[in-house]
Amino acid sequence: MDEGSMTPREQLQYWYELAFFPPRLDEFWGQVKRGAIGREAAAEAIRGALLLHLALPESGYASVRALKRLAQYQASSKPFAPVTFLNNIARYLQVQVTPDVDHVPPGMVRDIGLPPFCRPMRSVASRVAESR
């Protein structure tokens, strides 16, 4: 995805998905490996996603609802180790992505929804056909 052509809201949505939505992170990694994303664009996306994993800010955020949603995303993403994955991609690209702050910038705390995280429902007929 070309971050240069995105609005600030679209860019933030993209960072949230990289940070908390494993299918998007997997897709991003595939694009990096194929060279479909430039090194600097990838580094910028990784930096943005890593910022969302920092401690929550004490003030300046948009709403308590947005703060709670971000906290939920952070907690729910831990089993997938996205911070490690993002840092490994940065290491592969040989770029420095360590955040220079210790809290999520308040302006990044937004009530942003993620795509549904589930497998597509299969019909009973397709499951029966597979079992034969």
DSSP assignment string, 21-58 = -HHHHHHHHHHHHHT-S-HHHHHHHHHHHHHTTSBPPS
Stretches where the chain sits below pLDDT 50 are none
pLDDT on residue 62: 80
pLDDT tens digits, 88-105: 999 999 999 999 999 999
Token reading at 23: 């299918």
What number of CA atoms fall less than 13 Å from residue 10's CA on the CB side?
7
Closest C-alpha to 17, from 68, 60, 80: 80
Residues 6 or more apart whose CB falls under 8 angstroms from that of 74 comprise 20, 52, 53, 56
State whether residue 118 is helix, strand or coil: coil
69-87 confidence digits (pLDDT tens): 999 999 999 999 999 999 9
pTM of the model: 0.84
Q: What is the rounded average pLDDT for all residues in the chain? A: 89
pLDDT of residue 125: 57
